[in-house]
Amino acid sequence: MLKRNWVMDQIRAVFQNYGYEPLGTPAFESWDLLKKKSGEDAVNQIYYFRDKSDRELGLRFEWTASLARVVSTHRELPKPFKRYAIGPVWRYERPSEMRWREFWQMDVDVVGVADPIADTEVLAVAVDSLKAIGFKGFKIRLNDRRLLEALVEVSGLPKERYLDAFRAVDKRGKIGDEGVLEELDKIGAPRENSQRLLDLTSIKGAPSEVIVRAKTLVEGIQKGLDACEALSSIVEYAEGYGISGDIVVDLGLARGLDYYTGPVFEVYAEGFENEGSIAGGGRYDDLIEIFGGEPTPMTGVSLGPDRLVALLERIGAFEGLNLAPRVYVISVSESVRPKAIEVAQQLRRAGVSTEMDLLSRGMRKQLDNANTKGVSKVVIVGERELAEGCVAVRDMSTAEQKKVKLEELLEYV
Amino acid sequence: MLKRNWVMDQIRAVFQNYGYEPLGTPAFESWDLLKKKSGEDAVNQIYYFRDKSDRELGLRFEWTASLARVVSTHRELPKPFKRYAIGPVWRYERPSEMRWREFWQMDVDVVGVADPIADTEVLAVAVDSLKAIGFKGFKIRLNDRRLLEALVEVSGLPKERYLDAFRAVDKRGKIGDEGVLEELDKIGAPRENSQRLLDLTSIKGAPSEVIVRAKTLVEGIQKGLDACEALSSIVEYAEGYGISGDIVVDLGLARGLDYYTGPVFEVYAEGFENEGSIAGGGRYDDLIEIFGGEPTPMTGVSLGPDRLVALLERIGAFEGLNLAPRVYVISVSESVRPKAIEVAQQLRRAGVSTEMDLLSRGMRKQLDNANTKGVSKVVIVGERELAEGCVAVRDMSTAEQKKVKLEELLEYV
C-alpha cells in the first residue's frame, strides 16, 4: 500500500503537471449504461446487482464509461476537457473462485480534441508517468484502427466482420499464427485472404518506413489514408513532446476493446518487453454518441498501479525510497515518557515521520521495535541527557550515537 | 475533487508522520461480517447484494469492520499495529430517493494498546490533521462509555437497557430534554430516575473539575472509577501531545454506535461549534472477540474529507492555495507550435503544472482560456522572440509582460 500510494502520488503529480483535472465519479453506474459501453466479454466481468429499490446497477469495471456518462449529460463542460481519474475498478473474472477482484486504474483522457495532438499528449503523460516512478527506456507500439480496418478490406475479408478480425489478430501473441487463421476461418474467410491479413498485420518498424508502406497498401481507401495521416501527425508531435525516439508503428496492434475509432497505442518498458504493455489507450470518437450525447472526440490512456508496483519491486525501485518512519523516539524510563512524547510531537509537527512506543516497553524492546520498523534514526530520551537539555541520537545504519541539544534536534535529524 | 485531494494529501501526511501505515481492504465484505459489527440502524444502511455465486455481500459502510476482520484473522500482525485507511464508504440512506450515497472516510486506529496513550495519540492525530488543513482552534468533547454506564446505574435506570439509555441521551441535541425523557419512558424508567440521568449527563467542563465530581458520583462502581482513571490519563498525556488546552469532559457524550467500550471523543472546530463534530472516535476493545479473534484493545478516530472541504470553503481556506495549473503556454502561430510544445514539456518535466491549447486557437482565445484556467503566468511563444532565443512571460495578476531567455524560463516562472 505504501508503495502503491507512492506510485500513485508520483503519477498524479505528472497528470497535474500536464493540466489534467480530477473528476470523481461514483463506484456504481446503471447497468444499462455499463452494458452500452462494453463488448460482451466485458459485460460478463461486470459486478452486477439489484439494489433495494430494484434498480439494476454495476460497479465500474474501468473509468471510460463513467467519463462518457458525465460528458454526454453535461454539455456545458468547457472543451477541451482534460480529466484524470484514480481509483479502484472491479472485475468479476472467475465466478467459480470465492474471490471478487478489485484493482486500481489511473486514467487521463482528453475530451473535445479531434487532432492527434491529444493522442500524443496522453502518450507523453503515460511515458512521463512511467519515468517518474523509475522506468527507464520505453517502446511505444502505435497503430490506428481505421488502418487495420482498411487492411481487412484489402485482404478481401468480409468487411462487416472487421471487429471479429481485429479480435483474432489481437490474440496472435497468445494463440499464434495458426490460431489466428483458425479464428478467421470461423468468420468465413478464405485461407488465402486470412494469410494476407496476417502478412499485412506483421508489418512493423520505424514510423517513417511503415507509414509510407501502409499508404501504398491502402491506396484508394480513405479511412486508411486518414489513419496514415494521423499516425504521421502523432510521430511529428511526439518530437516536441520528447517521446519520438521510442515509437514503433505496428500494423498488428488492435487492442481488444471494441470502441476505439482511431489511433491506438501501448507502452512497453525496457527490460519488461515480455510482460505485456504497462500503459495503453487510444481514441474513441463515437462513444458519446452511443451514449446519446453530441458527437465528441475523445482519447485517453490508462495505467495500472498494482501491476506497476509488482514490476518495480523486481528492479528494486523502492529501495532507498524510505517509505518507513524516519525517527523512533525511545523513552529510557516511565518518568521521562511525557518528555519523549513532546519530542516526538515536535518532530511530527515539523513533518518528520516519527514513531514511538505505546506499550511502556523497556529500552531493549523499544530498540528492537525501532529496528523492525526500519527507521534511520533513534532519539533516546533519558534523564541524564535531559538534565543537560539534550537527547542521544543514534544513526541506525552506522550505530553511531551522538548527544544533540533539544533545540538542534529537528535540524539534526 | 482538487480540494478534496488536497485535504486528503495533507491529512495523509499527518497520519504518516505519526507512524501509521496504510492498510488497503476491499470495498466488499461478507454480509455476515458487516452485520456482526453493526447495530440495527447501520445494517439498514448497508449496500447489500448477492453476487453471481449467490454469496451475500455488502459494501463497507465504514472502515472499522474491515480492520477488525483483518486483525481477527491475522494473529501474526505485530502489535501495536497502527493503520490508516482512506477511501470511499457507501451508505444506502434513503431507499426512496433515486440516489445511492458514496462518501469518503479517513481513519486511524491503534490495535493492541490498552493504555489511554493510544486514545490520546489518535486524538492528537485528528487535531493535527485539522490544523494541517487550516482549522485553528478546537474543542474536544471527551467522555467514557463505562462512566456513562455507571451513571445509568446511579440514576436507577434498568442496567441492562443501558444501550437504549445511551441512544436516548445521545439524541438530546436533536430532540431536546423532553424528547430524551420520552425515549427513556419507553424503556420503562420512572421519570424521577430519567430526570436524574438527564441531570448527571448535563455535567461538563474543565477536566480536572468534572473528573473529580464524576468520581464522587460513581463511588463504589468499579467501571465508573476505571473510566475516571482513563479520562485522567488522557488529559495528562494530552499535555505532552500538545492538545490539552482544548479538552472538555462532557458526561453527556455517548456517540451513537454500539461498539464503544471506553473513552469516546469528538472534535469541534472554533467557529463551527453548531455544525457538529468534524472528527470523532473512541475505544472498542470487544470487537475482535465478537469477530472470533483474540481479545484485542483497539481505539481510533475518523475524519470525513467531503464535509471538511465544505466547511473550509466557507472560511475561504482554499484561496491562495493555487490548485490550478500555474503556467499557460501560448503559441502565436501554427509554425511555432512545435516549439511551444517543447517549452511546455520543459516546464512540466521540471514539475511546473503547465497547460496549453490543443485546438489551434488564435492568440486571443488562448489568452481567454488561460484566464479561465486561473493560471498565474502566461508564456507567449512567438517567432520574433524565438529568433532572439526568448519568450514573453505575462504575469496574469499584474498584466506585466517581460522578455525572458529560454534557458532562464524555468527559474523565472
DSSP-assigned letters across all residues of A19-83: T-EE----SEEEHHHHHHH--HHHHHHS-EEE-TT--EEEE-SSSHHHHHHHHHH-TTS-SSEEE
pLDDT number for residue B80: 93
pLDDT number for residue B42: 66
- The overall longest dimension of chain A from CA atoms, in Å, is 93
Q: Which of A19, A112, A115 sits opposite B355 (nearest CB)?
A: A19
CA A216 to chain centre: 36
* Fold match, A1-134+278-323 / A327-412: no
Whether A326 contacts A99, CB under 8 Å = no
Position A239 pLDDT exceeds 50:
yes
pLDDT digits over A302-322, tens only?
999 999 999 999 988 887 776
For chain B, say whether A210 makes contact (Cβ under 8 Å).
Answer: no
pLDDT digits over B127-154, tens only?
999 999 999 899 999 999 999 999 999 9
Average pLDDT (B307-319) is 89
Beta-strand relationship, A377-381 and A390-395: antiparallel
Tell me the average pLDDT of chain A.
90
Cell of B1: 475533487
Indicate the pTM of the whole model: 0.88
pLDDT number for residue B97: 46
Which distant-in-sequence residues (6+ apart) come within 8 Å of B353 by Cβ? A16, A17, A18, A19, B324, B325, B326, B327
pLDDT number for residue A96: 46
For chain B, say whether A92 makes contact (Cβ under 8 Å).
Answer: yes
Asked if the Cβ–Cβ distance from B80 to A124 is below 8 Å, we say no
For chain B, say whether A48 makes contact (Cβ under 8 Å).
Answer: yes
Chain A interface, best mutation among B10, B14, B17, B283, by max A CB count within 10 A: B17
Distance from CA of B330 to the nearest CA of A (A): 14
pLDDT number for residue B112: 95
Position B323 pLDDT exceeds 90:
no
Position B34 pLDDT exceeds 90:
no
Distance from CA of A302 to the nearest CA of B (A): 19
pLDDT digits over B150-209, tens only?
999 999 988 888 888 888 888 888 899 999 999 999 888 889 999 999 999 999 999 999
Tell me the average pLDDT of chain B.
90
Q: Which of B26, B88, B345 sits opposite A241 (nearest CB)?
A: B345
Closest chain A residue to B28, measured at CA: A100
Distance from CA of A257 to the nearest CA of B (A): 24
Most confident of A37-51, A79-93, A139-153: A139-153
Cell of B214: 464524576
A-chain residues near B296 (CB < 8 A): none
Cell of B8: 486528503
* A223 burial type by CB count under 10 A (0-12 exposed, 13-18 middle, 19+ buried): middle
| Inter-chain Cβ pairs, chain A and chain B, closer than 8 A | 168
Residue with the larger pLDDT of the pair B97 and B394: B394
Select the CATH number that applies to the domain covering B2-314 from these four: 3.30.360.10, 3.30.460.10, 3.30.930.10, 3.40.50.300. 3.30.930.10
pLDDT number for residue A94: 59
For chain B, say whether A90 makes contact (Cβ under 8 Å).
Answer: yes
Beta-strand relationship, A56-59 and A48-50: antiparallel
- Least Cα distance to A246 among A273, A221, A275, A274 occurs for A273
Asked if the Cβ–Cβ distance from A19 to B51 is below 8 Å, we say no
Whether A14 contacts A128, CB under 8 Å = yes
Chain B interface, best mutation among A23, A45, A348, by max B CB count within 10 A: A348
Asked if the Cβ–Cβ distance from B48 to A53 is below 8 Å, we say no
**CATH 3.10.100.10 is the classification of domain A136-272:** no
pLDDT digits over B244-296, tens only?
778 999 999 998 767 899 999 999 998 888 888 999 999 999 999 988 898 99
The superfamily in CATH containing domain A1-134+278-323 is Bira Bifunctional Protein; Domain 2 (3.30.930.10)
- Least Cα distance to B250 among B283, B292, B211, B203 occurs for B203
Asked if the Cβ–Cβ distance from A349 to B128 is below 8 Å, we say yes
| Chain B stretch 100-139, residues whose beta carbon is closer than 8 A to a beta carbon of chain A | 100, 102, 110, 112-113, 115, 117-118, 121, 124, 128
Position B374 pLDDT exceeds 90:
no
For chain B, say whether A88 makes contact (Cβ under 8 Å).
Answer: yes
B-chain residues near A372 (CB < 8 A): 78
Average pLDDT (A388-401) is 94
Q: Which of B19, B337, B348 sits opposite A325 (nearest CB)?
A: B19
pLDDT number for residue B98: 42
For chain A, say whether B338 makes contact (Cβ under 8 Å).
Answer: yes
Angstrom distance (rounded) from CA B227 to CA B116:
10
Domain boundaries, chain B: 2-314, 327-412
pLDDT number for residue A390: 96
Position B73 pLDDT exceeds 50:
yes
| Chain B stretch 147-186, residues whose beta carbon is closer than 8 A to a beta carbon of chain A | none
Asked if the Cβ–Cβ distance from A1 to B22 is below 8 Å, we say yes
Confidence band of A163 (pLDDT split at 50, 70, 90):
confident
- Least Cα distance to A145 among A128, A126, A122, A170 occurs for A170
Asked if the Cβ–Cβ distance from A47 to B48 is below 8 Å, we say no
Percent of chain A topping pLDDT 90 = 67
pLDDT number for residue B96: 46
Asked if the Cβ–Cβ distance from B1 to A16 is below 8 Å, we say no
CATH fold of B327-412: Rossmann fold (3.40.50)
pLDDT number for residue A17: 92
Whether B315 contacts B272, CB under 8 Å = no
pLDDT number for residue A84: 96
Cell of A331: 523513552
Whether A131 contacts A124, CB under 8 Å = no
Distance from CA of B155 to the nearest CA of A (A): 36
pLDDT number for residue B38: 67
pLDDT number for residue A93: 67
Closest chain B residue to A100, measured at CA: B28
Sign of the alpha-carbon dihedral angle for B323, B320, A133, A304: negative
Distance from CA of A201 to the nearest CA of B (A): 31
For chain B, say whether A49 makes contact (Cβ under 8 Å).
Answer: yes
pLDDT digits over B86-105, tens only?
999 988 765 444 445 788 99
pLDDT number for residue A98: 42
pLDDT digits over A117-135, tens only?
999 999 999 999 999 999 9
Average pLDDT (B324-330) is 89
| Chain B stretch 239-258, residues whose beta carbon is closer than 8 A to a beta carbon of chain A | 239-242
Which distant-in-sequence residues (6+ apart) come within 8 Å of B114 by Cβ? B285, B297
